[in-house]
Amino acid sequence: MTLIQWVADQSDESLFKIESRPGFVFTPVEGSFNKTLCSECGEYVFDRYVRMKDGKPLCIPCSGYANARTLGG
Ligand SMILES: [Zn+2]
């Protein structure tokens, strides 16, 4: 019997000990599908593409697409 076969034959309970970690707080990664309404045309925009102009969220076309590109956004 190979070592790998022996390991494969063991039950999960004999190989792993599962317990909660005291004081551990799970913080989910911020979602990448959050979206915001463009204040100009009312279209939903994924947050990573939202452009702020005069304090208002805008989609890329409403914010001026050329500027958005040169800003490296
Ligand atoms: Zn827009």
Compute the Cα dihedral for 36, 53, 55, 28 and give only its sign. positive
- Cut 0.75: pTM above it: no
Q: How far is the CA of 29 from the centre of ligand 1 (A)?
A: 27
Single-letter amino acid code for the residue at 35: K
pLDDT for res 36? 92
Residues with CB under 5 A from ligand 1 (ion): 38, 40-41, 59, 62
pLDDT in tens, 19-45: 888 998 888 776 667 889 999 999 999
- The CA–CA distances, whole Å, from 70 to 14, 21, 65, 67 equal 58, 47, 9, 5
Q: Name the β-bridge partners of 37.
A: 44
3-class DSSP state for residue 37? strand
- Looking at the domain that runs over 34-73, which CATH code has it been given? 3.30.60.20
CA 8 to chain centre: 35
pLDDT for res 31? 65
